[in-house]
Structure 1
Amino acid sequence: MTAIGLWNIARDQPELAAVVDPNGATLSYRELAAAADRYGRGLQAMGLRPGDSLVVLLPNGADLLAVFFATLQTGLHLVPVNWHLTGAEIAYIIGDSGAKAFIAHERFTETAVAAGAPVPKFSVGEIAGFQSLRELGAAEPVARPEIRTLGAPMLYTSGTTGRPKGVRRPLTGADPDEVPVAAKWFFGIFGLTPFDGHVHLCGSPLYHTAVLNFVANSVQFGHTCVLMDRWDAEQMLLLVQQHRVTHSHMVPTQFRRLLALPEPVRRGYDVSSLRVAIHGAAPCPTEVKRQMLDWWGPVITEYYAATEGGGTSITAQEWLRKPGSVGLPWPGSVVKVLDERGEELPAGEIGTVYMRMGGSTFSYHGDEEKTRNSRVGDLFTLGDMGYLDADGYLYLCDRRADMIITGGVNVYPAEVEGELVCHPKVADVAVFGIPHADWGEEVKAVVQPADGVSPGAELTAELLAYAGQRLARFKLPRSIDYLAELPRDPNGKLYKRKLRDPYWAGQERAI
């Protein structure tokens, strides 16, 4: 059987399709490995050495994957940045990560130039002051890089509670031709085996940790990766049918948009090739998940995890027995729910969720205080609230920072959002606390109406009546505002602070 790993597959099955670019062009394993070798040699010729960092501002595409594998085999830290950031924000990441080079796409010319990176700069396409990426390593001998040792991504947290922080892991010194045991184990959780006719569809930006991990591991496993530039519901169904896609990594927002397609459109595509649709990143309303299971069958697996490491997962069959749960801890992962004193809580009691993954270690680059404050002993937290049931299954309530305390009672916005978003006139919803003179906070909802629905008092009354049949009175929004579109990133993450902060201007929240 062919050994797994990009360079092994390039040797044994050189013409196997590795990547289908968003423009439809296919790159073979031989071509992807050759590009990774060329860029790796070029970076080393510039003086980059194991442990150094490289920042990239690139859309989904073969160029980004070639650069990723170049850094993976030369011991570098790849830092992919969100293309929605401003030049100043990218300049901060370039400086904070200690980047030795910067690669950008001409699509982001204005932002790339505004970043003002004081390091060697390369571009895909033309950007004034940038050297063409095609020239990187072109003058070097046609061979693998001289120094080959396993690198690692260094992705930055979203910065929803301040400046983004890079999650930096120590390099292992491993052979880049050997696929790490952790990658084999991780794909094993979802029943993904090498080759076996697998095709992975990537519809989210590769600057997200999980998205990059799934694509990189798929390539290493001999799975063809079909990349989307920007996710579109019907386009996804078309690509699943065309390429006989077997697995994809998704978020609940995408489920909702798929379900919003007209029934004839949904039924017009063959999705029978799907073996597992893996979702995470945000809570999925139970009714949304039930509808997806009714449509796609028991192929939907959920997980809860973090860039920092550790997590849980739950199959469709388990979820039908434990609706709303995000599952049991992964093998080797520890999940505990602790109170404010750091004491473990019994089953059914809500507290802060802490995790640990084997002997995995990490630090927030340049922020010892954040590293320290996120930990209790060898456990760390993302600030999520939740509880474990008697069987050890984890249920999430919300982020501690998002929890509303109204009249001394805790309200978890995710629960309220999960009910409102199931109303047919709601396309998206955000719930958060705003100041109240007597109660401390009151519940506010901001709704994005479905296409063709007019916002106003009549819709508000209808939504509150609907929610009132499903939620206790103290959980109901006291008011509803409307926006044409809620601020989410392409991976579905809601920037709730952008909605909430104006109400708290000049005031301090207790949480």
Structure 2
Amino acid sequence: MPRFAKDQAAADPNGFALVDGQRELNWLEVDDALNRSANLLLDLDRQGALGPDHRIAVFAENAAETALAHLGGLLAGASSVPVNFHLTADEAAYILTDSGSRVLFVGPETLERGVEAARQAGVDTIIAWDCPPTDGVTPWSEWLAGGSTDDPPDDVVPRPNLLYTSGTTGRPKGTELPPTMFAGGTNMVEHLEALAQGGFSGFGTHLVVGPMYHTGPLSGMRLLCAGVPSVILAKFDAEQTLAMIDKYKTETTVMVPTHFVRMLALPDEVKAKYDVSSMKLMAHTGAKCPVDVKAAMIEWFGPVFRDAYGASEVGTVCAISSEEWLEHKGSVGRSIPPFTALVLDEEMNEVPANTEGQLFFRDATGRGIIYPNDPAKTAASNPEPGLFTLGEIGYLDEDGYVFITDRFSDMIVSGGVNIYPAEAEQLLIDHPGVADVGCIGVPHPEMGESLVGLVQATDPDNPPDVAELSAWLRERLSHYKCPREYHVVTDLMRNTMGKINKRALRDAWLAGTIEEITVDPVGDSA
């Protein structure tokens, strides 16, 4: 493997490099696995087996192998596609097909769905770890055994990940990891050097607590190639997070506000058991952090937090340190190059400081938001070249700090995950007991927002059972996209054009002015 991790393997072969809770790999083992994986993928690519887009997909829960699969792809010049491990087989198959992925990596939780998704998408090469023998699936250890331990060539051209975001309507859309988040370089040596000098440069062990199908956790894992040890949690657990910080003296991580809420909820005696003083930089993203939550975290951990506000499509567009935040509480920061924040009115005119409006960003590179396989959505996302919005309402103060006050798009952010209500609505309307449906985001003390399904019954005298409705939808849609509550109501406030104003519907629901037929809020609490 080029340079940094190779240097670590030579200097400290038995030093810990990668930990995932079940196993601890040293630098020699990581170097060996990455070399073998990269060379195997390079061989496939030379045969044309990775397709014209050089894509592989990783449909797996957090594990050491998940990281190694992505990083082996990086070193082979492949574009890896992280697939949300909660997706159904049909949803995953769409991503495999749309992305053009030709190799699929799966773990024990996703094996069955992955095999079915690969069948639908025509993917012939499936590699799995910690799984029982399965027809058409090559075990990870057996696959690695066939690879060369030689260093991959230095002149391999790095390619960015292809990330899939939920769609406002219909299927999710693929977007390449933007230049602001991809270290770039014309060859792998330049790429690794740029990576080593990135946002977490100069720090020690990195902690991964979020799922690696998200941009932040996945991007952090690339530090392993730059010679930085990494600790992976299979699934976030508040106390285990503290225990890993204490045990491995981790220094950096990426979290979302929901993680903070759960950590703060631990009893004081549990918090006191662990030394967290090693943490030097805790980036948080995914959703606006409540003021009281962030203040409590700074009091606990110290001024080590950096808010990175943005989206998968563009990367970080605003940032703020703990010290700045204490002077501008509630802000997500000032825009960072190449972006400039603008607040516009409905006529697209810029408004004065401290005046609420639609929050836009101008990309000095002219790139804006790009969906490679969807030029229509790309055009719709950029009112003019390089000008885009993430769908939020806010204002800039006189110092240029951005404050977010609301959303004008239907998207909600729950636990740092973007959810588009249209995906649930388009399926729920097919239920025989549902005549109409509107899903809205409401405040949630832990998740930030949660999705609530409001349905009108086909027969108001015999409304659908909400528990059955929940189970019916979960058979067809990933559970995290499903409403946490369902309510059968008499009216969804459609206007004369037949449209629902989601903000008005949400406000009316929260105000209690919508008549409800049933009050049992059974839903998806997962």
TM-score grouping bracket, smaller chain normalisation: 0.7 to 0.9
User: Which position in structure 1 is the counterpart of 2:212?
Assistant: 206
User: Which position in structure 1 is the counterpart of 2:375?
Assistant: 368
Cα distance 1:242–1:170, how it changes in 2: closer, same or farther (>3 A)? closer
User: Which position in structure 1 is the counterpart of 2:149?
Assistant: 142
Distance 2:488 2:194 in 1: 43
User: Which position in structure 2 is the counterpart of 1:440?
Assistant: none
Distance 1:258 1:169 in 2: 30
**Contact 2:111-2:128 within 8 A present in 1 as well:** no
1:347 corresponds, among 339, 353, 370, to: 353
User: Which position in structure 2 is the counterpart of 1:18?
Assistant: 17
What amino acid maps onto 2:405 in structure 1?
Answer: C
Distance 1:302 1:317 in 2: 11
1:509 corresponds, among 487, 500, 505, to: 500
**Contact 1:43-1:137 within 8 A present in 2 as well:** no
Query: Displacement of 1:302 after TM fit?
Result: 1.3
Distance 1:500 1:345 in 2: 39
User: Which position in structure 2 is the counterpart of 1:38?
Assistant: 36
User: Which position in structure 1 is the counterpart of 2:391?
Assistant: 383
User: Which position in structure 2 is the counterpart of 1:118?
Assistant: 122
**Contact 1:73-1:151 within 8 A present in 2 as well:** no
User: Which position in structure 2 is the counterpart of 1:72?
Assistant: 74
User: Which position in structure 2 is the counterpart of 1:151?
Assistant: 159
What amino acid maps onto 2:186 in structure 1?
Answer: A
Distance 1:500 1:181 in 2: 51
Structure 2's unaligned 5+ residue stretches are 413-439, 457-469, 503-526
Cα distance 1:283–1:170, how it changes in 2: closer, same or farther (>3 A)? closer
Within a 5 Å distance, the mapping from 1:174-323 to structure 2 comes to 174-179=186-191, 183=195, 186-187=198-199, 192-194=200-202, 196=203, 198-216=204-222, 218-309=223-314, 310-323=316-329
User: Which position in structure 2 is the counterpart of 1:456?
Assistant: none
User: Which position in structure 1 is the counterpart of 2:344?
Assistant: 338
Distance 2:72 2:371 in 1: 24
1:96 aligns with 2:98: yes
Distance 1:505 1:84 in 2: 33
Distance 1:92 1:248 in 2: 31
Query: Displacement of 1:183 after TM fit?
Result: 4.2
User: Which position in structure 1 is the counterpart of 2:524?
Assistant: none
User: Which position in structure 2 is the counterpart of 1:61?
Assistant: 63
**Contact 2:256-2:286 within 8 A present in 1 as well:** yes
User: Which position in structure 2 is the counterpart of 1:29?
Assistant: 27
- Say which is worse superposed, 355-364 or 325-334, in terms of deviation: 355-364
Distance 1:193 1:132 in 2: 35
1:394 corresponds, among 370, 394, 402, to: 402
Within a 5 Å distance, the mapping from 1:366-445 to structure 2 comes to 366-375=373-382, 376-402=384-410, 417=443, 421=445, 430=450
Structure 1's unaligned 5+ residue stretches are 405-412, 437-482, 488-492
Q: How many residues align?
A: 432
Query: Displacement of 1:269 after TM fit?
Result: 1.4
Query: Displacement of 1:105 after TM fit?
Result: 1.3
Distance 2:25 2:75 in 1: 19
What amino acid maps onto 1:92 in structure 2?
Answer: Y
Distance 2:146 2:451 in 1: 56
Query: Displacement of 1:340 after TM fit?
Result: 3.3
Partner secondary structure for residue 256 of structure 1: helix
Cα distance 1:351–1:435, how it changes in 2: closer, same or farther (>3 A)? farther
TM-score, normalized by length of structure 2?
0.73
**Contact 1:75-1:148 within 8 A present in 2 as well:** yes
Partner secondary structure for residue 258 of structure 1: helix
Distance 2:169 2:56 in 1: 25
Q: Deviation per CA, 1:149-186, whole angstroms, max 9, x where unpaired?
A: 21221111133543111102699672112236764665
Distance 2:303 2:323 in 1: 7
- Say which is worse superposed, 328-337 or 83-92, in terms of deviation: 328-337
Query: Displacement of 1:331 after TM fit?
Result: 3.6
**Contact 2:363-2:386 within 8 A present in 1 as well:** no
1:131 corresponds, among 128, 131, 138, to: 138
**Contact 1:57-1:82 within 8 A present in 2 as well:** yes
What amino acid maps onto 1:157 in structure 2?
Answer: T
Distance 2:451 2:165 in 1: 22
Distance 1:34 1:352 in 2: 50
Partner secondary structure for residue 350 of structure 2: coil
TM-score, normalized by length of structure 1?
0.75
What amino acid maps onto 1:372 in structure 2?
Answer: A
**Contact 2:14-2:27 within 8 A present in 1 as well:** yes
Cα RMSD of the aligned pairs, angstroms, is 3.4
Distance 2:481 2:277 in 1: 35
Distance 1:385 1:209 in 2: 23
What amino acid maps onto 2:358 in structure 1?
Answer: T
Q: Deviation per CA, 1:219-254, whole angstroms, max 9, x where unpaired?
A: 244321110001111111111111112121111111
Q: Deviation per CA, 1:185-229, whole angstroms, max 9, x where unpaired?
A: 650xxxx333x5x1111111000011111221x324432111000
Query: Displacement of 1:18 after TM fit?
Result: 2.3
What amino acid maps onto 1:400 in structure 2?
Answer: F
Query: Displacement of 1:327 after TM fit?
Result: 0.4
User: Which position in structure 2 is the counterpart of 1:452?
Assistant: none
